[in-house]
């Protein structure tokens, strides 16, 4: 099989792209790697060629990512095309694991999960669930670990834009990647299914990407998905009436695209207790025991069903927080269903937002609802205990106040999670436990010592030591990786006092490190540390 690997980019940094290009070029199985640069940047051309990839660009940015892919299809010839976003770093075995599905000549697409290595992102939350996966829960875990595998049974797996392989003849048969909407991936898949092609899901993590780091990037990405779905629903490719789809496919697509309307329900459930507490008007005729006998089983069975069907990825409170966080963006995006506006494809930013006031501005709708809820609770207390109301109404207001307090607590957790997040560095450090050998240099009483390296990235490291080291101290470092020993010179940035029995935490940045050594570190981090395949932990332990 002949394979072309496409890495799509527009404005991502050299640091982000270097890891992706390097890993793509080093994937096992013969292939050609192409960097598709819609930014037309000389430094990216230089980077691509230095790492062994070909560089492609075009005169304009028509149709954004879809247009970029179609332009590359016109000047390449591989039977299959593997597509990666600029930040998704593939494992060496990616092609080996996915290409065999295409022995079935009807298969047009093989999609793999999207997992994210920056576990301090806004998208991550909850605790590690070692029984389910050896990685941290994130907002898309349920989709990639439960929903997409379920879609595989119904031949309704859809392309998610990255970490996928497509058959060239299948793409060409529908005119290339869909350009009519800003969600080219799901739209393209609907066209493929309508034309009779099959899609498959390989449920194994074979690449690691960057999750949106802050609220701005998170909402830009989710709003684009919602707006693109609205564009599809108002087109002839609406899955409810598009020709060529089976009934299971129609239902599966509708389940994924109608989820954006759930935000209207979420906001109604937040607004209802406020209205009740302020007006003392109940939204139902029946109240008390009769209501609880109907409502309690409904709620209990709903929560139980969600828990069982989620296969351990439900995380109720985290899911509720994210539903609130996205609600206003989804409601706003729903306007695209009725308004025929030209929508601009917005690239999800891969770097940290520095303007903290923008985070606060984006959270203002939630803060406004929180303030309204607090005022409504105070008003209800006044009405219930300091005015003439019936015992039944007093009881109703008390129960509604409890509901409002729950909503207020959830909103508080949501906003707090946004506004209290902090980062120590621009580039994520991977947690590690590898052996390091250090030598102090440029001082009279230079010493050598061994220490465990506890975090690492291609530009710096952290290790534990029995004593503090002065900022600015130069160190010669030897790191024992599974395949080789990497050497570099590092400069101490800070020393943090012991937290428990671990010793001083020393942070350092690399002052001198060869490109060869940096690339070896990158391949190690993304192959064995970010989303480790089976056996990687044993390899690292053996090296240590």
278-283, long-range: CB within 8 Å, 24+ apart, which pairs? 278/376, 278/379, 278/380, 280/380, 280/383, 280/389, 280/393, 280/397, 282/393, 282/396
**CB-based contact 248:154 (threshold 8 Å):** yes
Average pLDDT over residues 243-266: 95
Look at residue 185 and give its three-state secondary structure. helix
315-330: string of b/e by CB count within 10 Å (b at 16+)?
beebbbbbbbbbbbbb
- What is the distance between the alpha carbons of residues 440 and 475, in angstroms, rounded to a whole number? 5
pLDDT level of residue 354 (50, 70, 90 thresholds) = low
CA 146, 151, 154, 155 torsion: positive or negative? negative
Predicted pLDDT of residue 533: 58
Which two tokens mark 424? 């120590």
Look at residue 221 and give its three-state secondary structure. helix
- What is the distance between the alpha carbons of residues 53 and 296, in angstroms, rounded to a whole number? 60
The catalytic residues are 38, 185
Q: Which of 252, 226, 224, 222 is nearest to 239 (CA)?
A: 252
DSSP element (H, E) containing 377 = helix 364-385
**CB-based contact 198:205 (threshold 8 Å):** no
pLDDT level of residue 544 (50, 70, 90 thresholds) = low
Distances in Å between the Cα of 461 and the Cα atoms of 143, 439, 505 are 34, 15, 10
Higher local confidence (pLDDT), 291 or 377 = 377
- What is the distance between the alpha carbons of residues 460 and 348, in angstroms, rounded to a whole number? 26
- Helix, strand, coil abundance in the chain, percent, nearest 5: 45, 20, 35
DSSP element (H, E) containing 415 = helix 391-419
Q: Which of 58, 166, 24 is nearest to 157 (CA)?
A: 166
Predicted pLDDT of residue 128: 41
**Does the pLDDT value for residue 115 go beyond 80?**
yes
Q: Helix 364-385 and helix 316-333: axis angle, to 10°? A: 110
What percent of the chain has a predicted confidence (pLDDT) above 90?
66
Higher local confidence (pLDDT), 124 or 386 = 124
Summarize pLDDT for 293-325 with one digit per residue, the tens: 888 899 899 999 998 999 888 888 889 999 999
Which two tokens mark 405? 């307090």
Q: What is the pTM of this model?
A: 0.90
Which positions ≥6 away from 287 have C-beta within 8 Å? 392, 396
- What is the distance between the alpha carbons of residues 306 and 316, in angstroms, rounded to a whole number? 9
Question: Mean pLDDT over all residues of the chain?
Answer: 89
């Amino acid at each position: 099989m002949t394979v072309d690997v496409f890495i799509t980019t527009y404005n991502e940094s050299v640091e982000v792209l270097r890891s992706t290009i390097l890993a793509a070029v080093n994937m096992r199985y013969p292939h050609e790697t192409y960097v598709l640069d819609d930014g037309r940047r000389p430094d990216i051309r230089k980077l691509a060629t230095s790492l062994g990839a070909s560089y492609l660009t075009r005169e304009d940015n028509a149709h954004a990512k879809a247009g970029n892919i179609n332009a590359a299809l016109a000047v390449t010839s591989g039977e299959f095309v593997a597509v990666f976003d600029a930040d998704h770093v593939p494992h060496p075995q990616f092609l080996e694991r996915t290409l065999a599905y295409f022995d079935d000549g009807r298969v047009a697409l093989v999609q793999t999960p999207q997992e994210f290595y920056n576990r301090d992102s806004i998208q991550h939350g909850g605790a590690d669930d070692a029984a389910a996966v050896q990685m941290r829960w994130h907002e898309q875990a349920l989709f990639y670990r439960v929903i997409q595998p379920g879609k595989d049974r119904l031949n309704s797996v859809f392309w998610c834009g990255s970490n996928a392989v497509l058959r060239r003849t299948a793409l060409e048969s529908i005119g290339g990647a869909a350009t009519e909407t800003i969600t080219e991936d799901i739209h393209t898949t609907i066209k493929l299914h309508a034309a009779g092609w099959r899609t498959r899901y390989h449920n194994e993590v074979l690449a690691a990407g960057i999750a949106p780091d802050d609220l701005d990037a998170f909402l830009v990405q989710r709003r684009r998905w919602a707006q693109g779905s609205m564009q599809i629903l108002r087109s002839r490719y609406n899955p409810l009436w598009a020709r060529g789809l089976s009934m299971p496919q129609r239902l599966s697509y509708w389940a994924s695209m109608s989820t954006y309307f759930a935000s209207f329900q979420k906001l109604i459930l937040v607004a209802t207790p406020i209205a009740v507490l302020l007006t003392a008007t109940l939204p139902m005729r029946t109240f008390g025991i009769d209501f609880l006998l109907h409502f309690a089983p409904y709620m209990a069975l709903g929560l139980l069903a969600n828990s069982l069907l989620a296969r351990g990825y439900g995380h109720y409170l985290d899911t509720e927080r994210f539903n609130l966080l996205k609600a206003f963006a989804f409601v706003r995006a729903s306007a695209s269903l009725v308004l025929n506006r030209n929508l601009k494809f917005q690239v999800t930013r891969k770097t940290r937002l520095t303007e903290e006031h923008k985070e606060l501005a984006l959270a203002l709708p939630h803060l406004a609802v929180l303030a309204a809820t607090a005022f409504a609770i105070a008003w209800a207390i006044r009405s219930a205990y300091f005015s003439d109301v019936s015992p039944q109404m007093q009881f109703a207001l008390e129960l509604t106040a409890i509901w409002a307090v729950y909503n207020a607590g959830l909103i508080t957790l949501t906003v707090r999670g946004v506004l209290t997040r902090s980062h120590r560095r621009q580039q994520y450090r991977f947690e590690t436990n590898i052996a390091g050998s250090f030598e102090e240099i440029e001082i009279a009483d230079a010493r050598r010592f061994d220490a465990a390296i506890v975090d690492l990235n291609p530009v710096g490291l952290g290790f534990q030591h029995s004593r503090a080291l002065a900022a600015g101290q130069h160190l010669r470092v030897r790191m024992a990786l599974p395949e080789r020993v990497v050497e570099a010179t590092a400069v101490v940035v800070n020393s943090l006092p012991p937290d428990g029995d671990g010793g001083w935490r020393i942070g350092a940045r690399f002052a001198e490190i060869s490109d060869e050594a940096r690339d070896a570190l990158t391949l190690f981090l993304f192959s064995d540390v970010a989303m480790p395949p089976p056996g990687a932990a044993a390899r690292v332990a053996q090296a240590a």
